[in-house]
Amino acid sequence: MSQRLEEVVHARGHEHVSADHASTFEVTTDDYLTPAGDCILAIDADRAPADFDSEFVDACRDETATITVTFEADGHEETVSGRGDPDLEFTNERSAVGRTSDYVDDRTIVVGSEFAAEGFDRELVDALADGTDVTVTISVE
């Protein structure tokens, strides 16, 4: 598959963004964040996995697919890659989660991620903690 498909999500940071989680990162449509949400990088997302195009979802269900998630906020950019999985559902209407493990549930958008929330650039994390707007681009090829 040589075609590159992408989904774009607009969200914002929050004062409780800590990006301390060792195995996941998450973007949620929820408009709040508690300090316990240490994997959440952005809130108030305008789209969730259930909104993604069926062609995009099908492409992500290929275990040889490379899925890349890019966060752009306030002049900072971080890209993390992982792979697809035949069990990916893309049915959750609230949250999109990237995982370093092979675990899949209805929120999972990528498995085998290179790193999780704790691996994100700290300047980007600081910008998100200041509540800045973020563009999250999820691509598959």
pTM exceeds 0.85, yes or no: yes
> The domain 5-140 is classified under which CATH number: 2.60.120.630, 3.30.70.990, 3.40.50.2000, 3.40.50.720?
2.60.120.630
Give residue for tokens 């998450």.
26
Based on C-alpha coordinates, what's the Rg of the chain? 14
Q: What is the mean pLDDT of residues 70-99?
A: 98
Residue 1 binned pLDDT confidence (cut-offs 50, 70, 90):
very low
Q: Which amino acid is at 17?
A: V
Nearest 5°: CA angle at 109, between 129 and 86? 165
Where are the domains positioned within the chain?
Answer: 5-140
Q: What is the mean pLDDT of residues 18-43?
A: 97
What is the overall mean pLDDT for the chain?
97
Residue 2 binned pLDDT confidence (cut-offs 50, 70, 90):
low
Residue 68 binned pLDDT confidence (cut-offs 50, 70, 90):
very high
Q: How far from 36 is each of 17, 18, 33, CA to CA, in Å?
A: 10, 9, 8
